[in-house]
Chain A
Amino acid sequence: EAGVAQSPRYKIIEKRQSVAFWCNPISGHATLYWYQQILGQGPKLLIQFQNNGVVDDSQLPKDRFSAERLKGVDSTLKIQPAKLEDSAVYLCASSAGQGMSTEAFFGQGTRLTVV
């Protein structure tokens, strides 16, 4: 079974530029998550989708971050404009359904450096 695919693996941009990350979840997984992991910290949930609907985006900085999951499969996360503090690894994960007992499977992440 193919895992969660993310691209790019690395990205370096200047502050105030925009950037987009792409995620392809495991086939058939209805729930998709985007996490932000700052160096030395645990992953912080930015947004959670159930199919193509948003379940939780309470920690998404909506003035600069946006995410979509068209057709309930692939997802993109965008930052516009980027700030220095956005430097982090952005992790995408997916799980089968929204059941409490289902574990999430993670991609390798995109490491973003804002200079």
Chain B
Amino acid sequence: AQSVAQPEDQVNVAEGNPLTVKCTYSVSGNPYLFWYVQYPNRGLQFLLKYITGDNLVKGSYGFEAEFNKSQTSFHLKKPSALVSDSALYFCAVRDDTGFQKLVFGTGTRLLVSP
């Protein structure tokens, strides 16, 4: 069965600095990877996905993620953080076996200070 690990409960970064939110995954087949963001009292919003091809994926709001097959990682990045980026970030994975369940990690809280 597929699984996702987000090793950091919280990431703190100063506004204007680069940010990285880590994600590692485990799947039986080929991975399909997603990042979502959740603001307070809101549902999850899709940010970006990796399907195949270029290992660097660009998404919404200036976010990007780098897929690394050998390290089974899919870290979320942004070159310059904004205070408004403060939210809860979830990594999710689906593999191409079985019923393609979409499985989420436990989430990482990003706190960007002014």
Contact = CB atoms under 8 A, between A and B. Distances in A.
Contact of B101 (A45, A103, A107): A45
A99 B34 CA distance: 14
A33 interface: yes
Contacts of A109: 43
A48 B34 contact: no
A109 B88 CA distance: 15
B99 A48 contact: yes
Given A42-B107, A56-B99, A101 B32 contact: yes
A108 B90 CA distance: 16
Nearest to A10: B41
A106 B43 contact: yes
Nearest to A50: B99
Interface residues of B, number: 27
A88 to B, nearest CB: 14
Contact of A108 (B42, B95, B107): B42
- By DSSP majority rule, is chain A's interface helix, strand, loop, or mixed? loop
B14 interface: no
Interface string B92-114: 00111001111111110000000
Contacts of B36: 106
Contacts of B90: 42-43
A100 B101 contact: no
Contact of B46 (A42, A45, A105): A105
Interface of A: 4, 33, 35, 41-45, 48, 55-56, 91, 93, 98-101, 103-109
Query: What 9 A-B pairs have minimum CB-CB distances, sorted nearest first?
Result: A106-B43, A42-B104, A106-B44, A101-B51, A100-B32, A42-B106, A108-B43, A103-B46, A43-B104
Given A43-B90, A100-B32, 19 more contacts: A4-B43, A33-B102, A35-B104, A42-B6, A43-B104, A44-B104, A56-B99, A93-B43, A99-B100, A100-B51, A100-B94, A100-B95, A100-B96, A104-B46, A106-B36, A107-B43, A108-B41, A108-B42, A109-B43
